[in-house]
A = this chain, B = another copy of it.
Amino acid sequence: MLEVRNFPVNKIYPFASSRSVGKKIRFKSQEYEVIELTKENVEKYAKDIQLALFSAGASVSKEYAPLFAQKGIYVVDNSSAWRMEKDIPLVVPEVNPHTLSKDKKIIANPNCSTIQMVVVLAPIHRYVRIKRIIVSTYQSVSGAGGKAMVELFNEAQVVLEQLKKTDSLLTFNNSFFCVEKQQPSVFPKQIAFNLIPQIDIFLENLYTKEEMKMVNETKKILESPDIKISAQCVRVPVFRGHSESVWIETEKKITVQQAKEILSIAKGVKVIDEPTSQDPRLRYSTPVECAQKQITYVGRIREDLSCENGLVMWIVSDNLLKGAALNAVQILEEMVTRKIV
């Protein structure tokens, strides 16, 4: 993303764990050797570093982000470690760039499913105040990492091989559709041609951590602690791109046409919503169509038949881009624009 968006980088310092030492990272046709992430190396290199992008999980971030920050380095962290800390900005540049400031050295990059939702909802919220959000997600396996993609690939191969041996896909022997789960595995159940209504661990209130991230991060990013939110997060056998069915209830009435007009000029959003178009691409977006696109798509915008002032919609975006790397780089860009760095 730094390369694709041509962010002005003089030199990169690829930090990683000892396992990766010896590996090389290619950036703008130059190779850089991996530096082991240790306190000593942070001391050693800090004076040459201006910005740090963290994407190594919450525990590494908890330990090392402050070390960088103490040296005056701005850290944009992709983990959940800092997101809900009171003094840490949780930033989606199209939504709350004003929360960035010179004195906030650590900046949190929100959860993937949250980002794509708020980038669409924020312009509506500004216009008519959203009171309540209900969201059911359809999240791709890449959100669980590269190994998860391999797991889907391998399981899908097993199922297809089994099905080749049957006379008919309408076979009444369901075992052909099932794979035996190999251990260790990323997912707790089969993901190929199946669904898993669990992302991350379960919390005491019976929601998963992923669901509560959507609840809490959305309130923080929209700076509206009173919005009522409920989420159900489901893993689907898609490689890349998260999708969401979203219902909103607003304080004032907003028509479908008004919502479309607002969203058609919203930054980072593209309305694809001509359901009866001759051209299937214009009807609504789907994950394979959103992959590698630096934008969030919204469609199927219509009135919520179950409440007075409500809308339903379908939101799709590349979880590896807007949901992660793109948003992080956009935060850096915003910091440049605001002359913070």
Within residues 164 to 218 of chain A, which ones have a CB less than 8 A from any CB in chain B?
168-170, 172, 174, 177-178, 188-190, 193-198, 202, 205-207, 215
Chain A: interface size category = 35 or more
Name A142-159 residues within 8 Å CB distance of B: 142, 146, 149-150, 152-153, 156-157
Candidate in A188, A276, A302, A306 with the most chain B CB atoms within 10 angstroms: A306
A303 to B133: give the CA distance in the assembly, Å: 14
Decide yes or no whether A60 CB sits under 8 A from chain B: no
Given contact pairs A169-B153, A243-B197, A275 touches B206 in the complex (Cβ within 8 A): yes
**In the complex the two chains form, is A304's CB within 8 Å of B230's CB?**
yes
Q: Taking A132-B307, A156-B160, A302-B206 as contacts, is the C-beta distance between A291 and B177 under 8 angstroms?
A: yes
Residue A68 lies at the interface, judged by CB distance under 8 Å to chain B: no
Closest chain B residue to A281, Cβ basis: B189
Of B134, B198, B287, B292, the contact of A306 (CB 8 Å cutoff): B134
Name the interface residues of A219-256: CB closer than 8 Å to any CB of B: 228-230, 232, 234, 236-240, 243, 245, 247, 256
> What is the interface of chain A mostly: helix, strand, loop, or mixed?
mixed
A206 with B300: CB separation less than 8 A: yes
A-B contacts, 15 of them at CB < 8 A, read A134-B306, A136-B136, A138-B195, A138-B236, A142-B170, A150-B169, A156-B193, A174-B288, A174-B291, A198-B283, A198-B284, A206-B256, A229-B305, A230-B310, A232-B300
